[in-house]
Amino acid sequence: MRKLTTSFCTVGLLAMFTASPVVADNHAEQIALGKAVYMGKSRGNCVSCHTIADPDAKLAGNQGPPTLSMKARFPDKAKLRAQIWDATKNNPLTIMPPLGKHWILSEEEIDAVVEYIYQF
Amino acid sequence: MKIIKTLALNLAVASASQAALAADSGFDMQTVDPEADRIALQNYFKARFPETEIADYVNGIYAVDAGSREQWEELEEFPPYEFDVEKGEELFNTPFANGKGYADCFENGGIGIRHKYPYWNKDEGTVKTLEQEINECRTDNDEEPLAWGKGAIAQISAYMAWTSRDKVFDIQIPADDERAKAAYLDGKKFFYAKRGQLNLSCANCHVQGTNIRIRADLPSPQLGHVTHFPVFRSKWGALGTLHRRYSGCHKDSRSKPLKPQTETFRNLEYFQSYMSNGLVANGPGARK
Amino acid sequence: MNKGLIIAIVLIVAVVLFMTQSDKKEVSEPAMTKAPPPVQVEPSPAEPAAPEVSLQEAFEMNRAMYGKGHSFAWNGEQHTTDHPEEIEASKEATQANAEALLASAMAKNAEVAKLGFEWKLTGDILKKAQQSIDQGNFQQALNLAAQAKYHARIGIEQYHYAQANWHLSVPE
C-alpha cells in the first residue's frame, strides 16, 4: 500500500512538474525530438513494432506490445529508460534492438523518447 | 512458448553445467541431429499455425497469412517471372564460344535437378550451390563468370528451377564426412545467432517473428524459405537469387553484409535447404 | 453507509490488484534472465550496489537508467557511467590524440571483422572521423572514433555472447 501511495504521489508530482511553465519550452522540444525518434525509420523506428495512439503514427507494426499506459506500467521512469536502453537484459531473445547499449540512439535521444512515450 | 520454457530451463542450469547443456541439446559436433532439427521446426510451425499444412510452406508468408494470399494468387495468374524463365531457357541453350553448353556441365543435362542443391562435395570439402556451379560451368569453358545477385544467373537458375517444379527436396548430409555435418552446424548457428547493431538473428524475424507486422511487412516462416528461389521480388522490380536476399537480410540487421556465395552463406543455404526436405521445389516465385 | 463502504473497499482492492498486476508484468520477464536481474536490485545512485552484481552489470544498469555523466558506487568505489571510449574522447582535442584514438578504433574494428561480426555503419563512422581530422575538427574526430571503437568492442562482446547462447532460440 505504501508503495502504491508513493507511486501515485510521484505521478502527481511529475504531472505538476511537467506542467510548470518554466520547463515547458525545453520539455516541448524534447517531446518533439522523442516523437521524431519514435517515428523515424533510420532513428528509433519504434513505430515499426509498437502501435501508439498518436494520429501521426502510420503503418505501426505489432512485434512488440503497444505503447500505452506507460506511467502505470513503469511508475519508475528510469526503469522504462533501462528497458529501451537494453531490452535483452530482461529477455535475451527479444527482437527489440538494444537502442542504448548498441549506441543506435544517443543518450539524449533516449531521454527524449522516454518523455514522448510517457504521455501515452 | 516452448522456446521460452526451454530458455528458462537452460538459464537455470546454464551456470552449473554449460558443457552438459550443450551435450544434451544437439548444438555441437557430437550431438547435432539435422533430422531432429527438421522435425522440431515443423512441429514449431504446426503449433503456431495449426491451420496450415506443412506442404503449403513452400508458399512462404502466403501459407500463413490469408489476407495477402489472395493478392498473391492473383499475381501468380500472370507471373512476373515468366519472362525471366523464357530468357533463362534461351541463355541455358545458347552454346559457349567453344561449342559446349550448360547441359554438358550438369547431371541429366541440367533438367529437373534444382531440388538436389545445395549438396556436399566431398572432393572439394565444401557446400556447392546451383548458382556456384552455373558460374563454374562458365569458367571451365573459358567464359566470364556472371554477377551473383541478379540478371542472367538468376534467369538461368529460374529456368532450371522451373524444370524441377514439384520434385521433392532431399538434401543429404553424408555420414561418412564430418565436415558436412560441420557445414550444416555452421549454417544453423548463423541462422540462430544474434548479430549486427540491431542485434537480430534470422530466427528473430523468421521463427519467433513470423507473420507479425514490422511496419506493413510480415516476415515469412523459415520453413520452406529456399524452395521458391530465385524470386521475383516486387521491391526489387526484378528477379534475384537467394544469396542476394541473404545479403539484404544480413544488412537489415545492420551487419556489414557478406557477399553472395561466401562459405558462410553456402552453409546457411545448406542448413535451410535441409529444413525444407520433404517439401517440393516451386521456384521461381513471386514475393512482395 | 454500508454500501458506500463496500464500494470503497472494492475500489481499493481493484486498484491494488491493478498495481500488483502491472508490477508482476514488469518482473515476469526478468525471471528468464540470469539471476539476479539487475533491474530488481534498484540501488539508488548513492548506495553501493549489492556485492553479487559485477562492476559491468552495475555499470550497465546505471547507464541504462540514468545515461552518461552519472556516478555510482560499486563495492565501496565511485564509478561514472561514461564508456571508456567516451573518457578517451574527453582528452584534449589535438591532432595527435584524435589520430591515436582513430588508430585504436580501426584496430578494434579489424578485430571484430575477423570474427565476422562487424557492424554496418562502423566503416563510415571511421571514414568521417578521418575527414574530421583532415578538416582540423579534432573534437568531432575524437567523438566519432570513440563511437566506432565502442561499436567494435560491443560487436566483439556480441560475438562471444552468440557463441555461448545461440542455441537458446532453436525450437526443440
Clarify whether residues C139 and C93 are in a common domain.
yes
Nearest CA-CA distance, residue B193 and chain C, Å:
5
Q: C93 and C116 share a domain? A: yes
Q: Which residue in chain A has the smallest CA separation from C81?
A: A107
Beta-bridged to residue B217, according to DSSP, are: B214
Task: Please provide residue A52's backbone torsions phi and psi, each rounded to the nearest 5 degrees.
Answer: -150, 145
What pLDDT digit, counting tens, does each position of A3-18 carry?
433 343 444 444 444 4
Backbone angles phi, psi at B179, to 5 degrees: -65, -30
Per-residue pLDDT averaged across A67-96, rounded?
A: 97
Interface contact A95, partner B, CB < 8 A: yes
Do A92 and C32 lie within an 8 Å CB cutoff?
Answer: yes
Which DSSP string do the residues of A21-45 spell out, in sequence order?
HHHHHHHHHHHHHHHHHHH-TTTT-
Closest residue on chain A to C154 (Cα): A102
CATH number corresponding to B2-6+24-78+175-287: 1.10.760.10
Is the residue at C18 inside a domain? no
The pLDDT of residue A23:
53
Q: Which candidate from C31, C118, C166 shows the least CB-CB separation from B255? A: C118
DSSP-derived pairing of the beta strands B238-240 and B231-233: antiparallel
Instruction: Report if residue C11 sits inside a domain.
Output: no
Q: Which of C11, C15, C22 to mutate to test the interface with A (most CBs of A within 10 A)?
A: C22
pLDDT tens for chain B, 288 residues long, are 344 444 444 444 333 334 334 333 468 999 999 999 999 999 999 999 999 999 999 999 999 999 999 999 998 899 999 999 999 999 999 999 999 999 999 999 999 999 999 999 999 999 999 999 999 999 999 999 999 999 999 999 999 999 999 999 999 999 999 999 999 999 999 999 999 999 999 999 999 999 999 999 999 999 999 999 999 999 999 999 999 999 999 999 999 999 999 999 999 999 999 999 999 999 999 998
Contact C104, B180 (CB under 8 A): no
Q: Which of A49, A61, A102 sits opposite B199 (nearest CB)?
A: A102
d(CA C22, CA C37): 18
Would you list the DSSP string of B178-216? Answer: HHHHHHHHHHHHHHHS-BTTTTB-HHIIIIITTTS-BTT
C66 and C138 housed in the same domain? no
* Catalytic machinery residues of B: 249
**Across the interface, which of B4, B197, B214 has its CB nearest the CB of A63?**
B214
Does C117 contact chain B (CB < 8 Å)? yes
All 3 cell numbers of residue C39? 533491474
Cβ-based contacts of C32 with chain A (< 8 Å) = 90-92
**Domain for residue C36, yes or no?**
no
3-state secondary structure of C51: coil
Q: In sequence order, what are the residues at sequence separation of 6 or more whose Cβ sits closer than 8 angstroms to the Cβ of residue C62?
A: C45, C70, C72, C81
CB B85 within 8 A of CB B162: yes
Residue of chain C whose alpha carbon sits nearest to that of A6? C19
pTM over 0.90: no
The DSSP bridge pattern shows strands C71-74 and C77-80 to be antiparallel
Ramachandran region of residue C103, left (φ > 0), alpha (ψ -120 to 50) or beta?
alpha
pLDDT for residue C37 = 41
- Give how far Cα B111 sits from Cα of A4, B72, B115, B120, B169, Å: 72, 27, 11, 20, 15
The set of residues, in sequence order, having a beta carbon less than 8 Å from that of A69 and lying 6+ positions away, is A120, C22
Q: How far is A47 from chain B (nearest CA, A)?
A: 7
In terms of Cα–Cα distance, which of B155, B147, B154, B164 is closest to B110? B164
Number of structural domains (chain C) is 2
Chain B residues lying within 8 Å of A102, measured CB to CB: 197-199
Task: Give the HSE-up count for residue A35: Cα atoms under 13 Å, Cβ half-sphere.
Answer: 15
- The segment(s) of chain B belonging to CATH 1.10.760.10 are 2-6+24-78+175-287, 82-162
Rounded CA-CA distance B248/B233 in Å is 12
In a domain, C162, yes or no: yes
- The domain in which residue C106 lies consists of 85-166
Please tell me the distance from the alpha carbon of residue B66 to that of residue B68, in angstroms, as a whole number.
6
Put simply, whether C1 touches B (Cβ < 8 Å) is: no
Same domain, residue pair C127 and C162: yes
Residues C66 and C111 in one domain: no
Residue of B nearest to C30 (CA): B8
Complex ipTM value? 0.88
In a domain, C32, yes or no: no
Instruction: Check residue A18 and give its pLDDT.
Output: 44
Q: If you compute the radius of gyration of chain B from its CA atoms, what whole number of angstroms results?
A: 19
Residue C90 lies in a domain: yes
Q: Are C78 and C71 in contact (CB under 8 A)?
A: yes
Minimal C-alpha gap between C24 and chain A (Å): 10
For chain C (172 residues), the mean pLDDT of every run of 10, in chain order, is: 47 42 37 38 49 90 97 95 98 98 98 98 98 98 98 98 94 89
DSSP-assigned letters across all residues of B217-274: B-PPPSTTTTTT-SEEETTTTEEE-HHHHHHHHHHHTTB-PPPTT-HHHHHHHHHHHH
- Do C97 and C73 lie in one domain? The reply is no
Over residues A47-75, the pLDDT tens digits come to 999 999 999 999 999 999 999 999 999 99
Residues in Cβ contact with A109 at an 8 Å cutoff, skipping those fewer than 6 apart: A33, A34, A37, A43, A44
Return the CATH architecture of domain B82-162.
Answer: Orthogonal Bundle (1.10)
CA distance C147 to chain A (A): 8
Residues C106 and C157 in one domain: yes
